[in-house]
């Protein structure tokens, strides 16, 4: 077989930094492990379960927010950036968790939310008490309203969580006053990042956590911190992605000035040893656009959302993989790969929906799109088998190694995502991917804690996905992930040269990653496998046939 596209000539020789090839496991602290039994996961719970992650074979963990917060948006509304919310423990608990992780050879990345703060942040409370035009208000985006008496918002922007993006305040004298901008919930006020005081404040936040020993930061809404001058009106397309991933010109997403922020942060991280890293959550329409965030003097990684949102289609996947392996190495950065996270429908459900995936809306019992469970899991296992063979860094979201599907049947009165409330129950939101994960089938809350409490209800099917059940099954999804990570490391696939292979049907992905041949059958008919030892297969094989929705790694014959 010959090469139709050799990306190896486009991939810059990788450096020695750990983040170039790391497999990073996302922990959503609320739902990972609960040590005190209150129904909400915590830092001591994470510490107690780190050995399991070491056994899985990951290189680093990324913790979603655990900082002080009123929890209006599950911690993405931060009231104090330099302390741990009592819900999750203490700074001592964080230090103990960090020490345990480092002792196991696991690096730790923390979530940073710089676009906005909670309305309970001391700065915002000072802004409310201060007068229009004051230095306190200049830290946020306050504007006078339109209309005869300022009764209309400054522009027509719509919040990601539904409704308008502006909230009017009551001034100290009790009269209606200015409006403040909130891209997300009304309790999440956007900072004004043109203000030097805001810039210096976050340099201090970075140093606080770097001094404690963290290995890097995942930056929330990294493409939203600068707004277009003049705040012009903008109406998104009716079927558009609310996070801006399908639009090139949104006045509050992807503005050029944001890059100066990350050049500044890059210098702060360079003050520390140990290859500290910044990873951008930047929803952008193409790998080329995303690569602008990881030029040599900016961030080190950016989530590859174009890859995450690609359908289970061989041509589409070939395109996004090729584009990624061209765009990211062209600026000296690793490609990154991700299939699930705390904001999207789990890929064990998303890859086999009966209708188009409603990105940003979630799915529930009345959604048009419903998952086909067995097909979804089969495709998810194959998709992960492809992903973990690709050069660069990969992200795993807690529970996907157990094959967890999206939870559909959450009772209406148990839902907690702000999207559910701000859209008058029209959009389900993200609760379905955030349900606490199962550890032991026969334990209270499936081992999430010892009391049976759970901040979101766990479905009965969690028993079959519990880690202790899957540990006893050599064909389980946990066994597959563990084996994939072992072989990935043994063959150095994170830094391997990549070459497409031809001679296969259009519905088949086939490539060489280093000394491993990877074949994924996205068609409907089984295909013959070439010679070579089967290193890993996403499903059991019969003879030398690769069934539909199955992927395999082969060693040279």
Give the residue numbers annotated as catalytic, written as ranges: 220, 271
Pairing of strands 23-27, 80-84: unpaired
Q: Tokens for 50, please give them.
A: 């780190």
Cα separation, 240 vs 33, in Å, equals 35
- End-to-end alpha-carbon separation of the chain, Å? 14
371: DSSP letter? B
* Alpha-carbon span 183 to 244, nearest angstrom: 12
Q: Are 58 and 25 in contact (CB under 8 A)?
A: yes
Element of type H or E holding 394: strand 393-397
Residues 129 and 123: their CA atoms lie apart, in Å, by 10
Q: Under DSSP, is residue 19 helix (H, G, I), strand (E, B) or coil? A: helix
Pick from 428, 445, 429: which is nearest to 437 by CA? 445
Q: Are strands 277-280 and 301-302 parallel, antiparallel or unpaired?
A: parallel
Place of tokens 């996205």: 522
Token digits of residue 506: 């259009």
Give the CA count within 13 Å in the CB-facing half-sphere of 305. Answer: 25
**Three-point CA angle 201, 202, 204, nearest 5°:** 70
CA nearest to 484, candidates 65, 57, 137, 154: 57
266, exposed or middle or buried, with CB in 10 Å at 0-12, 13-18, 19+? middle
Strands (E), 232-335: 277-280, 301-302
Residue tagged 């090469």 (tokens):
3
Helix H segments across 430-522? 462-465, 467-471, 477-490
- Partnered with residue 180 across adjacent β-strands are 142, 167
| CB of 405 closer than 8 Å to CB of 346 | yes
Query: Helix, strand or coil for residue 251?
Result: coil
Rg (CA), the chain: 23
Q: Which whole-number Å values give the CA distances from 136 to 140, 353, 464, in the listed order?
A: 8, 48, 53
Residue with tokens 């998104």: 236
Q: Which two tokens stand for residue 206?
A: 């970075």
State the Cα–Cα distance between residues 405 and 409, nearest whole angstrom. Answer: 12
CA nearest neighbour of 364 among 401, 409, 397 = 409
């Amino acid at each position: 077989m010959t090469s139709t596209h050799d990306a190896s000539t486009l991939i810059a020789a990788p450096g020695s930094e750990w983040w170039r090839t790391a497999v990073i496991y996302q922990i959503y602290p609320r739902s990972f492990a609960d040590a005190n039994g209150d129904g909400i996961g915590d830092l001591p719970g994470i510490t107690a379960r780190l050995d399991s992650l070491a056994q899985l074979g990951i290189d680093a963990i990324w913790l979603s927010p655990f900082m002080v917060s009123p929890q209006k948006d599950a911690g993405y509304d931060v009231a104090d950036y330099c302390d741990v919310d009592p819900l999750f423990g203490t700074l001592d608990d964080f230090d103990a968790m960090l020490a345990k992780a480092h002792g196991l050879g696991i690096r730790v990345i923390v979530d940073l939310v710089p676009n906005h703060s909670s309305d309970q942040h001391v700065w915002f409370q000072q802004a409310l008490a201060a007068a229009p035009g004051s230095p306190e208000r200049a830290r946020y985006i306050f504007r006078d309203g339109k209309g005869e008496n300022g009764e209309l918002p400054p522009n027509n922007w719509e919040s990601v969580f539904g409704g308008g993006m502006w909230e009017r305040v009551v001034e100290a004298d009790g009269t209606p006053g200015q409006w403040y901008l909130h891209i997300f919930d009304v309790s999440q006020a956007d900072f004004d990042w043109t203000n030097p005081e805001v810039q210096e404040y976050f340099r201090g936040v970075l140093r606080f956590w770097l001094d404690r020993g963290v290995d890097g930061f995942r930056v929330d809404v990294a493409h939203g911190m600068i707004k277009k001058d003049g705040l012009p009106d903008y109406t998104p397309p009716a079927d558009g992605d609310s996070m801006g991933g399908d639009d090139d010109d949104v006045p509050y997403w992807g503005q050029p000035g944001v890059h100066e922020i990350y050049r500044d942060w890059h210098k702060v991280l360079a003050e520390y040893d140990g290859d500290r890293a910044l990873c951008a959550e930047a929803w952008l329409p193409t790998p080329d656009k995303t690569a602008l965030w990881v030029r040599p003097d900016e961030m080190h990684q950016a989530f590859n959302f174009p890859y995450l949102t690609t359908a289970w289609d061989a041509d589409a996947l070939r395109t996004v993989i090729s584009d990624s392996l061209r765009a990211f190495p062209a600026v000296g950065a690793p490609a990154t790969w991700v299939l699930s996270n705390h904001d999207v429908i789990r890929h064990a459900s998303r890859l086999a929906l009966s209708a188009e995936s409603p990105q940003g809306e979630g799915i529930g019992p009345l959604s048009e799109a419903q998952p086909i469970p067995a097909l979804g899991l089969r495709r998810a296992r194959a998709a992960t088998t492809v992903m973990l063979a690709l050069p660069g860094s990969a992200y795993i979201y807690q529970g996907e190694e157990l094959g967890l599907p999206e939870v559909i049947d959450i009772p209406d009165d148990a839902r907690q995502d702000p999207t559910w409330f701000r859209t008058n129950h029209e959009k389900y939101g993200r609760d379905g991917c955030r349900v606490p994960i199962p550890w032991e089938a026969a334990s209270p809350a499936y081992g999430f804690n010892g009391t049976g409490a759970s901040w979101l209800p766990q479905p009965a099917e969690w028993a079959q996905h519990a880690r202790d059940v899957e540990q006893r099954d050599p064909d389980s999804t946990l066994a597959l992930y563990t084996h994939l990570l072992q072989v990935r490391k043994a063959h150095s696939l994170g830094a391997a040269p990549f070459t497409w292979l031809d001679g296969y049907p259009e519905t088949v992905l086939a490539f060489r990653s280093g000394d491993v041949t990877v074949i994924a059958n996205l068609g409907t008919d089984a295909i013959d496998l070439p010679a070579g030892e089967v290193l890993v297969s996403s499903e059991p094989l019969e003879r030398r046939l690769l069934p539909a929705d199955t992927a395999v790694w082969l060693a040279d014959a």
